Amino acid sequence: MSGFDIRAMDLLAITMVERWRWPFWLAKGVLELTLLAAGWLMGDPAGVGTLCFLVGVDLLIQPLMWLNATVLRVRNLGLPPHLAPTGSGLT
């Protein structure tokens, strides 16, 4: 959401936020867990590092969006202000 680039998965997560009113971190986490499970079922490895990265990134999304908006003053090109989490500095 920093304006540097938005991936297709981020756009899908934004759509989930708009339609189901989920927090962005939850929508993104569900997508990533789904992809991780699908990869694991197809035989790809899923180690401790993969799981730590997944959990760490998903928990840090909202605070980093706030940091981008308030401290770094980077424009938010992804999540519309009316869907931004309360207190995130993105409204």
C-alpha–C-alpha distance, residues 2 and 53, integer Å:
19
More confident of the two residues 89 and 41: 41
Q: How many whole angstroms separate alpha carbon 32 and alpha carbon 27?
A: 9
* pLDDT at residue 51 greater than cutoff 90: no
pTM value > 0.75: no
